[in-house]
Amino acid sequence: MSTSPCPPRTVGTASRGLRRVALTCALSIAAASVHGGCASTQYAPQVVARGELTMRYQGGFEIYAGRERLTGGLTYPRLAQHVRCVPEAARHAESARSNGVGAVVTSILGGTMGAGGLLGLVGLADQDRIGLWLGAGLALSTVGLTLSIVSWRLKNHANGHAHDAVNFYNDSVGSLGATCDDLSYPAPVGPAPAAAVPPADAGAVPSAVPAIPGSPPPSLPPPPTTL
């Protein structure tokens, strides 16, 4: 009795296509989790009160006290100390710091996990365990992308709290020309008062209004003659 040899093991077209899709997804998510962008716009105010805080954007938010740089994102160090005399501003400054720290931590973890998703490339060389490599890469990339989204949200929260801290402080102290270190408010500067007019003497006789020099008026034309 003859036995037929076992047919060689083959990988179906559908299976290969599924693996390509999984690899593409892993690489895409890994790239998205480590991708970042930047922009830079700035405007320096020309008139600033003595204790007023202003914000600029140079690839990240920066806070200036007068003309000097005070602090910047993402954790905004020294902001809470500077606005400590305004309770609402101090509360927002502390929230900006804590959210900024969280944004930095999750950003680092997200980038690390996203880069770890590139392990899926090992499956190209290890065909016997390609599914394992692709699964691990896809899982790491997904975690990295999730952490990157959380970091982005925490970054926005940190910047928002910093803006609120600046606004609360300026409304109470900074825009009035004072600081938490020196709560003396300077006198407002305005137009000079008009000179006081002395009261008129009730018994004095008003003087005649002087005539304004000028050319005499032209003579009137003669009246019409009757025939």
For 29-44, what is each residue's pLDDT tens digit?
A: 555 544 444 555 556 7
* HSE toward the beta carbon, residue 17, CA cutoff 13 A: 3
pLDDT given for residue 146 in this prediction: 92
Q: What angle do CA 128, 13, 143 make, to 5 degrees?
A: 60
Q: Is residue 186 part of a domain?
A: no
DSSP helix/strand/coil, 134: helix
CA–CA gap between residue 17 and residue 77 (Å, rounded): 51
**Amino acid type, 220:** L
Strand partners, 53: 65
Q: Is residue 204 part of a domain?
A: no
Residues 75/154, Cβ–Cβ less than 8 Å: no
Burial of 150: CB neighbours in 10 Å, binned 0-12, 13-18, 19+ = middle
Phi, psi of 177 (to 5 degrees): 90, 15
Q: How many CB atoms lie within 10 A of CB 187?
A: 6
pLDDT given for residue 14 in this prediction: 45
DSSP string, 59-121: SSEEEEETTEEEEETTT-TTHHHHTTTSHHHHHHHHHHHHHHHHHHHHHHHHHHHHHHGGGGG
* Residue 194, token pair as written in the block: 């008009």
CA–CA gap between residue 171 and residue 167 (Å, rounded): 6
Q: What angle do CA 160, 161, 167 make, to 5 degrees?
A: 90
pLDDT given for residue 29 in this prediction: 53
pLDDT given for residue 138 in this prediction: 85
Which residues are CB-neighbours of 127 under 8 A, at least 6 positions away? none
Q: Is residue 140 part of a domain?
A: yes
Which residue range is the domain that position 125 belongs to? 19-175
pLDDT given for residue 162 in this prediction: 96
Q: Is residue 114 part of a domain?
A: yes
Low-confidence ranges of the chain (pLDDT < 70): 1-43, 122-124, 187-227
Q: Is residue 198 part of a domain?
A: no
Q: Is residue 4 part of a domain?
A: no
DSSP string, 39-66: -EE----S---TT-EEEEEESSEEEEET
* Lookup result for tokens 């880069």: 115
Q: Is residue 106 part of a domain?
A: yes
pLDDT given for residue 217 in this prediction: 55
Q: Is residue 205 part of a domain?
A: no
pTM beyond 0.95, yes or no = no
Report the number of distinct structural domains present in the chain.
1
